[in-house]
Structure 1
Amino acid sequence: MRKIGIRQARIFMAVANAASVTGAAKVVNRSQTSVTKSIQDLEHQLGVPLFDRTPKGVSLTAFGDALMPRAELAARAFTAAEQLVSPAVLMSAPGAARFFRMDISETWLDGFLAVVSHQNIASAADHLGIKPAAVSSSLRKLEDSLHITLFERTPNAIICTTLGRSIAQYVKLAQSYMRNACDEISNMQGVQVGHVSVGTMPYTRTMIIPRAINQLLAEHSDLDITTHDGPLDDLVAALRCGDIDVMVGALHGPGSDGGLSEERLIDDQLAIIVRAQHPLTRLKKVEWKDLLQYPWVLPRHGTTTRMLFELVLENRQEEKPSHIVETSSLVLLRGLLVESDRVSARSRHQILYEEQSGLLATLPVDLPETRLPIGITTRARSVLAPAVEMFIEELRKVAQQVSKTL
């Protein structure tokens, strides 16, 4: 499998910026032989030339041009991580300065990130396919080099410090850019490979995301796709560090630091949902007092849908439903509604197939104040992998299809 190491990316950028091996060797403080070997090894790993060589120096090939912006983004991630560390540490620890200049062993980085993820030396070692002693040695050398405590050790666990976890997020982000570069180079060679990691939110899990995935894989069956769900804050954190490529769902703003970029696809709003044979479906006009005669099923407090529903109650000064069952599970919701006269408030997108199959129905109750933009969230100022760009294009197509049907 193709892989670009962080140190290799540093040396590559030095050669590209200096337009010569000699100049790069001075910048990275290595011999010309070492720099030449690093570039040759990288080109061999990728199977493509990154530089055109002439007696006057070197220049980037098309493949090198594809790698360069992603390598620069990786460098920017390490620079951001450096801002987390006190100047005193950077002055007193040469190893820390080298680390944030991307002059670091890939073995140390892999061990560090594996332990952050697994919170256990043995599990991290099993994941990496090496012995626990090797992982412990890498961590010790990394912490000694940085003069930073990355983990707190207890008799039963190894816990990442707040600083260690923050640094790990930037390292993972840098590595994600290198993976994207590998995908782009493969794409340039006519090989459609790649991986898309999608953060999913409730409004889009039922139909929008599945349809986009199916349409993408119908044309590009060699791509791999992984979906992630969970609380919004967890998904945003995963997006920021590169564990997720794109989030799809309700838009919540680009973040106070401007680190996220949003694209609106469609607007959605809540509907009142009941079983298809519910007594209220026989009414031409449904009043709020009619709804309050029945028990309700609502999402948990703090979710977007629940907040929008409570906004309706506040704006209209309506009485709150009593005897509520709280669940965010669509499977459980379907069972509760189909087997009773309960009422719920959800997006029609979430119950589209149940409505088409005659299990559930929407009541003629308009809730315009719950209108919500649905769309795509990515990292701002990022270079997306080809597979991610193709997936986003399929999402746009699905949004157009949905807007014509609902």
Structure 2
Amino acid sequence: MNSVPELNLKHLHALVAVHTHGGISAAAPHINLSQPALTQAVARLERQLDTALFDRQPGGMAATEATTLLVPRIARALGYLAQGVRLARRAARLPALPAIERRLTLSQLRALTAVDTAGSYTLAAARAGLSQPAMHRAVRELEAVIEVPLLQRRGKTLQPTPAANRLLRQVRLALAELNAGLDELHALRDQHGGRLAIGVMPLARAILLPQALARFARAWPGATVNVVEGPFSEVLADLREGSLDLLVGAMRDLSAVRDVVQEGLFDDDPVIVGRAGHPLAGRKTLTFDHLLRYPWVIPATGAPVRARWERMFRDNGHAPPVLRIECGSLVITRGLLLEDDWLTLMSRDQFLFERRAGLLVELGLAGEALRRRIGLTTRADWHPTRAQQGFVQIFRDVCAERSDDGPTEWPFRYPDTR
């Protein structure tokens, strides 16, 4: 989030007011600023952004395209900050203060997020290239403005108070919105520029996402993409706080998380995988006696594939075998399969290269009940930039091409051995 320049939040609010009310003189009474002060605020923003925000005409000020793109982002950012302060004060059992977000500074907000991430003023200051006293002073000034303690020491680390946790999420969303606004401005100069941060889950990263990224890079040569892998709980938290724009991969049950939405794009059927030359390779019919005869490597309890693997056995009247190795790493799992007669469940994409090389083979399908939906997860209030919209459409196209290949055949059946 450090790409946001040192803008003045009061100046941003002034820009919104001038745009909303149609001019300097009309906006001045609404934000308690003189016309000269308001004129200076807009002029300074134009210098900082190196962009004309209004066309000065005899009949008044006409917003440029840059302003039309930027103002909605600023308005949403200010709304997040207002909500964050309200939530923080409510957590501290304090009444709301009107327009208090206008008294905040980006330096204060950056300092709070930096200390929260680093766990100490020393490390936060070193990462930000600031002095420790400056970092400490910025957080203390923020606490004084909103009248709420924000950090508490636990052992050797600083941790946010419950009130700060409520504020921090809204602050990060506000910074993400301002970053998106700056991207919109840059895109006016470079029609193929922009930035995108994607959280990726295991199923999407082997073939699906690389295909989409390659197409996106060709269509948007000036854009940059940051791909982040991690446990689902972590990438979901990053998405909800604005540091990721979207998640791609297998969909989860997020009915309890109301601020995100999911878009299913195609179905994937897990298959049973083993090494080439596995004793079960080439069989047209697999029984559960066969499957129980060999060791399995499956992720630990809590992973979706683990639940599906257990269901595969239980739905057919068998207890899942005891796992000697639990592993969520695809790299390690593929390596283990090559060493001996181990079995696992994978998407076909996840061992495509090993299959082409004749190293791993599909032994059978896990069953229609284990089919999983692949798609996109975004924030419910996400407003993508042009570049982000471009990637989403490309990803949809890649998924649609898979769906157009026709329904999956089911050549393997498990006889009822109960």
Paired with 1:349 and 1:163, the residues of 2 have a C-alpha distance of 44
Paired with 1:163 and 1:269, the residues of 2 have a C-alpha distance of 44
* Amino-acid identity (%): 28
Q: Superposed, which structure 2 residues align to 1:256-275 within 5 Å?
A: 256=256, 258-275=258-275
Which residue identity lines up with residue 38 of structure 2 in the other structure?
Answer: V
- Is 1:30 the counterpart of 2:29? The answer is no
1:119·1:160 contact (CA, 8 Å) conserved in 2? no
Q: Which residue of 2 aligns with 1:49?
A: 52
> Structure 1 residues 279, 302: closer, same or farther in 2, change over 3 A?
same
Which residue identity lines up with residue 88 of structure 2 in the other structure?
Answer: V
> Structure 1 residues 276, 345: closer, same or farther in 2, change over 3 A?
same
- Is 1:60 the counterpart of 2:63? The answer is yes
Q: Which residue of 2 aligns with 1:149?
A: 149
Which residue identity lines up with residue 192 of structure 2 in the other structure?
Answer: Q
TM-superposed CA distance for 1:141, in Å, is 1.1
TM-superposed CA distance for 1:242, in Å, is 0.7
> Structure 1 residues 155, 315: closer, same or farther in 2, change over 3 A?
closer
Paired with 2:321 and 2:253, the residues of 1 have a C-alpha distance of 30
1:25·1:32 contact (CA, 8 Å) conserved in 2? yes
> Structure 1 residues 91, 13: closer, same or farther in 2, change over 3 A?
farther
Q: Per-residue displacement from partner, 1:196-255 (whole Å, max 9, x unpaired)? A: 111111111111112222222233333222122222222222111110001001122564
Q: Which residue of 2 aligns with 1:182?
A: 182
Provide the TM-score with structure 1 as the length reference: 0.91
Paired with 1:323 and 1:114, the residues of 2 have a C-alpha distance of 42
Which residue identity lines up with residue 360 of structure 1 in the other structure?
Answer: L
2:89·2:95 contact (CA, 8 Å) conserved in 1? no
Q: Which residue of 1 aligns with 2:43?
A: 40
Q: Which residue of 1 aligns with 2:20?
A: 17
Paired with 1:253 and 1:49, the residues of 2 have a C-alpha distance of 46
- Is 1:78 the counterpart of 2:85? The answer is no
Q: Which residue of 1 aligns with 2:379?
A: 379
Q: Secondary structure of 2:280's partner?
A: helix
Q: Which residue of 2 aligns with 1:360?
A: 360
Which residue identity lines up with residue 166 of structure 1 in the other structure?
Answer: R
The runs of 4+ residues in structure 1 deviating greater than 4 Å are 86-94
Q: Which residue of 2 aligns with 1:285?
A: 285
Paired with 1:173 and 1:28, the residues of 2 have a C-alpha distance of 24
Which residue identity lines up with residue 85 of structure 1 in the other structure?
Answer: A
Paired with 1:153 and 1:28, the residues of 2 have a C-alpha distance of 39
> Structure 1 residues 302, 30: closer, same or farther in 2, change over 3 A?
same
TM-superposed CA distance for 1:188, in Å, is 2.3
Q: Which residue of 2 aligns with 1:308?
A: 308
Paired with 1:327 and 1:138, the residues of 2 have a C-alpha distance of 44
Paired with 1:301 and 1:49, the residues of 2 have a C-alpha distance of 56
Q: Secondary structure of 1:363's partner?
A: strand
TM-superposed CA distance for 1:332, in Å, is 0.3
Paired with 2:278 and 2:257, the residues of 1 have a C-alpha distance of 48
> Structure 1 residues 154, 329: closer, same or farther in 2, change over 3 A?
closer
Q: How many residues align?
A: 403
Q: Per-residue displacement from partner, 1:137-157 (whole Å, max 9, x unpaired)? A: 111111122111110035732
Q: Secondary structure of 1:223's partner?
A: strand
Paired with 1:33 and 1:118, the residues of 2 have a C-alpha distance of 42
Q: Secondary structure of 1:280's partner?
A: coil
Q: Secondary structure of 2:193's partner?
A: coil
2:89·2:163 contact (CA, 8 Å) conserved in 1? no
Q: Secondary structure of 2:247's partner?
A: strand
- Is 1:216 the counterpart of 2:216? The answer is yes
TM-superposed CA distance for 1:290, in Å, is 0.5
TM-superposed CA distance for 1:314, in Å, is 2.7
Paired with 1:87 and 1:202, the residues of 2 have a C-alpha distance of 39
> Structure 1 residues 325, 254: closer, same or farther in 2, change over 3 A?
closer
Q: Secondary structure of 1:264's partner?
A: strand
Q: Which residue of 2 aligns with 1:105?
A: 105
1:116·1:165 contact (CA, 8 Å) conserved in 2? no
Paired with 1:322 and 1:254, the residues of 2 have a C-alpha distance of 30
Paired with 2:136 and 2:366, the residues of 1 have a C-alpha distance of 60
Q: Secondary structure of 2:365's partner?
A: coil
> Structure 1 residues 99, 200: closer, same or farther in 2, change over 3 A?
farther
Paired with 1:285 and 1:111, the residues of 2 have a C-alpha distance of 62
Paired with 2:336 and 2:115, the residues of 1 have a C-alpha distance of 42
> Structure 1 residues 5, 333: closer, same or farther in 2, change over 3 A?
farther
Match of residue 11, structure 2, among 8, 20, 24: 8
Which residue identity lines up with residue 62 of structure 1 in the other structure?
Answer: E
Provide the TM-score with structure 2 as the length reference: 0.89
1:13·1:68 contact (CA, 8 Å) conserved in 2? yes
1:251·1:374 contact (CA, 8 Å) conserved in 2? yes
Q: Secondary structure of 1:267's partner?
A: strand
Q: Per-residue displacement from partner, 1:327-369 (whole Å, max 9, x unpaired)? A: 0101100111010101111222211222122111111334100
> Structure 1 residues 330, 41: closer, same or farther in 2, change over 3 A?
same
> Structure 1 residues 231, 162: closer, same or farther in 2, change over 3 A?
farther
Which moves more between the two structures, 261-270 or 27-36?
Answer: 27-36
Which residue identity lines up with residue 63 of structure 1 in the other structure?
Answer: A
Paired with 1:256 and 1:293, the residues of 2 have a C-alpha distance of 40
1:2·1:45 contact (CA, 8 Å) conserved in 2? no
What is the alpha-carbon root mean square deviation over aligned residues? 2.4
> Structure 1 residues 197, 5: closer, same or farther in 2, change over 3 A?
farther
Give structure 1 stretches of 5+ with no counterpart.
Answer: none
TM-superposed CA distance for 1:128, in Å, is 1.8
> Structure 1 residues 328, 75: closer, same or farther in 2, change over 3 A?
same
1:298·1:324 contact (CA, 8 Å) conserved in 2? no
Paired with 1:128 and 1:98, the residues of 2 have a C-alpha distance of 29
Q: Which residue of 1 aligns with 2:412?
A: none
Which moves more between the two structures, 315-324 or 178-187?
Answer: 315-324
Give structure 2 stretches of 5+ with no counterpart.
Answer: 409-418
